[in-house]
Amino acid sequence: IVVSGGDDRLWKTWGFPDGNILLTGEGHTDWLSGCCFRPSGTQLVTSSGDTTVRIWDLSRRGCILTLRGHSRAVHDCSWHSCGDFVASASMDGTSKIWDVN
């Protein structure tokens, strides 16, 4: 499974080798810049030009948490290997570590 995000404000998970779309998520109000699976594979984090970072529950197919605090577009996001923290980097010149528990 691969995840992608783009200018259409959507993230999509793709199954391989067929390349079929498994899930699609919407909720950001601007382009997506980053997508990353939680190490357990149960959740996804996305970053966007809308200044937010969102946590998605894949089994519920919805956003469960919106992280606000950046004042400009967020360029990337990533889970820590333990699965309890998310890092984000923004055009506002800051990086943030979020405790998602």
Domain assignments of the chain as residue spans, ordered by start: 2-99
> What average pLDDT does this structure show over 30-38?
96
The pLDDT assigned to 5 comes to 94
Total-model pTM: 0.93
User: What is the distance between the alpha carbons of residues 87 and 101, in angstroms, rounded to a whole number?
Assistant: 14
Topology of domain 2-99 in CATH is Lipocalin (2.40.128)
Taking only Cα atoms into account, the Rg of the chain, rounded to an integer number of angstroms, comes to 13
pLDDT confidence band for 61 (50 / 70 / 90): confident
- Closest by alpha carbon to 61, among 93, 94, 27? 27
In this model, does residue 70 exceed pLDDT 90?
yes
